[in-house]
Structure 1
Amino acid sequence: MEQLFQRGQGNFPSFPDKKLAISFADQLFAFLFTPRRDSIEQLLAIYEGLRDIFSSLVFDVLKDEVIAKQQAVVFFDAIPDIYQWLLKDAAAIVEFDPAAESIEEVLVAYPGFFATAIYRFAHQLHTQQLHTLPRLFSEYAHSRTGIDIHPGAQIGTSFFIDHGTGIVIGGTAVIGNHVKIYHGVTLGALNVAKELAHKKRHPTIEDNVIIYSGATILGGNTTVGNHSVIGGNVWLTHSVEPHSIVYHKSEVVVRDKNPLPEPLNFVI
């Protein structure tokens, strides 16, 4: 029982506040993409408040106030570039989704865009080698959208997710620019042995690839060449050349379940 009361003390690992991390992710998303009528002074105050929250989250893990503030500087210095990348992601959704009527609709109502935004925040944290916090971000997006993107994945610009429910993207996946992914897609590993933890286990998807719903692409040596189309429900464990079309062929038989009508007898 004594160990339970010593949790978080001594050499036991410390964790960021989960509720605060989720609140920070929501506030940062709202700060970047919710229309505001605040003055410059009010926006600066919100911005500084976000920096303070971030520093607190990092301090919870590192227990070093100076390093926590340095990490906050690095993260917020990256925000303008992340914001530009996300605008390109939103523009891709507007361009290719016939149901999207405006970029404003995408920013506030599309789960695929929200998951992409949280991924880009988490990926920045991952590059700063901040452990646990990026996973809290990604798991929050997963629970809210059904889209599971590991913070370690590398995803290029103009990334398009349509619907999105059931998408899984592994931590060593590499995705190029202008890639479109539909719901139920898995970019996963062929082998989940622990000794492969630091090896590339997930596929590489080159530029301008479309992956339709239900497709599963596995393996660190698997590369989908640029401008390829992967059809729905495809199971792929080997590389395909650029400009390929890969599809799953299945036979569908349709017959009338009603009995044939009795032949007509004509009496003349």
Structure 2
Amino acid sequence: MKKLYIKSYGCQMNVYDAERMADVMGGEGYETCDTPDDADMVILNTCHIREKAAEKVYSDVGRLRQIKDKRKTEGAKDLSITVAGCVAQAEGAEMIRRAPVIDMVVGPQAYHRLPDLLKEKEEKQAKGQRPRIVDTDFPVESKFDHLPKAKKRDLPSAFVTIQEGCDKFCTFCVVPYTRGAEFSRPLSVLLDEARALASEGVREITLLGQNVNAYHGEDASGREVGLGRLIREVAEIDGLERIRYTTSHPRDMDQDLMDAHRD
């Protein structure tokens, strides 16, 4: 099998996204490895909240270039370098201009397209062209529609993304620009995912979102559902013992959510 190395920076959402990217590429014959030296493909899953974290990406790209150049000199297998996550979303093609060794720049909403993008990259290379693959579109719905089911981690806990994006536009924060507008997944989909995890032995679920208590999904009747009701329904699933959620915003705290904590 081909080897995939993923390095994630930043928040728990990126940890979750890294697991999903590994699942997507697993379907293409890739298995994860512990070091870029063994990898056929490296994905840097980046964070843009702090400038230091963003700049660290370029330092890591520089180290990957050394591996790539060494392999080229030795006639060994090529190393495919992909930058994903929020820095990729914010900077797009500028990343390739600044670091031409990067093969692909992929935003958070395009992870399900990784196999197609990799194929496009390989076809260009076969023709002697530089790949320069950039996909930073924002169709968040299709991301959730196409990604594989969440899998249990090594520990008896798992992440479930319930919403993405933020509409607050706080002066200091880049999230609305890198993750887009708030989008919530339907209640039934989340409950099915939570039940599947519980059946695999998961005992603790962390509900994830850039602004998790802004969750406003829909139930089967089309009625809007808040985080309070979601927590209550997840709590009824056999086998689950603990529910966590992150990250919340005080503006979206409401009485129903506080009542759910009490109950």
Same fold at TM > 0.5 = no
Higher relative contact order (CA 8 A, sep 6+): 2
Using the size of structure 1 for normalisation, the TM-score is 0.27
Bigger strand fraction: 2
